[in-house]
């Protein structure tokens, strides 16, 4: 997995955030799969302690990918999960720690406060962590994604965007406009349903795909 410029962390700690239904957990699994193919040791952690099924879902992915998953009981402190995950990553020689968080609406102050806490706790467990904060946005929601992103950015310093559900949608042009307005790079896009359908964002390829789509619609 490519690291952000200037980051050389071991383990590389990535926190994945976003609203319900945007595809966060699947994105975590896809990122983990990419890293596994590069021979990197990855620890998955479920900091979604709101939904009982959240840990189970990530554990299923962990079994499929043959990766350990750190979870806690529903209702546990999400910050404690993050702290334990980062410490375990440090102590047991993992090269990456990928942290899934609870899906949340950006207008819920309490939930955004929890993201602030997660960020602080990660830094206490390991200086400089989290090294990446990826905001997952549903590419089909258009302008609403921009307002969501702005509010999430107030809770955590987002370093990159992951735009999902771009297969078969004509809203791709809004991705470029949104990234430009937010000043945050698009790191990955989801283009299908399979595990391999998370690809690194390439502007040239993306523009070609948009032009082809526009031509086919005429």
Q: What CATH number is attached to the domain comprising 87?
A: 3.40.50.300
7 found inside a domain:
no
48 found inside a domain:
yes
Q: CB neighbours of 1 closer than 8 A, spacing ≥ 6?
A: 12, 31, 34, 35, 38, 40, 96
Q: CA-CA distance, 129 to 114, in Å (whole number)?
A: 16
Residue 208 has pLDDT above 80, yes or no: no
Share of the chain above pLDDT 90, in %: 57
H or E element: which one contains 91? helix 78-91
Per the structure, the complete domain to which residue 29 belongs is given by 12-216
> Are 23 and 164 contacting, i.e. CB atoms less than 8 angstroms apart?
yes
Rounded average pLDDT over 16-32: 94
User: For residue 193, what pLDDT is reported?
Assistant: 85
Instruction: Please report the sign of the dihedral spanned by the C-alpha atoms of residue 188, residue 190, residue 191, residue 195.
Output: positive
pTM for the predicted model, two decimal places: 0.91
H or E element: which one contains 143? helix 143-155
Q: Is 123 helix (H, G, I), strand (E, B) or coil?
A: helix
Number of domains in the chain: 1
Band (165; pLDDT cuts 50, 70, 90)? confident
């Amino acid at each position: 997995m490519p690291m952000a410029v200037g980051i050389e962390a071991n383990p590389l700690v990535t926190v994945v955030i976003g609203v319900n239904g945007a595809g966060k957990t699947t994105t975590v699994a896809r990122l983990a799969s990419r890293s596994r193919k590069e021979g990197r040791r990855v620890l998955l952690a479920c900091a979604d302690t709101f939904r009982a099924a959240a840990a189970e879902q990530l554990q299923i992915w962990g079994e499929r990918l043959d990766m350990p998953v750190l979870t806690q009981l529903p209702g546990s402190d999400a910050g404690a999960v993050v702290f334990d995950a980062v410490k375990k990553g440090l102590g047991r020689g993992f090269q990456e720690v990928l942290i899934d968080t609870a899906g949340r609406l950006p207008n819920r102050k309490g939930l955004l406060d929890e993201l602030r806490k997660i960020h602080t706790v990660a830094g206490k467990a390991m200086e400089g962590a989290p090294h990446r904060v990826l905001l997952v946005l549903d590419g089909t929601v258009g302008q609403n994604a921009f307002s969501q992103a702005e509010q999430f950015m107030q809770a955590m310093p987002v370093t990159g965007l992951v735009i999902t559900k771009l297969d078969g949608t004509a809203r791709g042009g809004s991705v470029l406009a949104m990234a430009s307005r937010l000043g945050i790079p698009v790191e990955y896009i989801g283009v299908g349903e399979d595990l391999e359908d998370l690809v690194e964002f390439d502007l040239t390829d993306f523009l070609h795909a948009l032009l082809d789509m526009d031509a086919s619609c005429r």
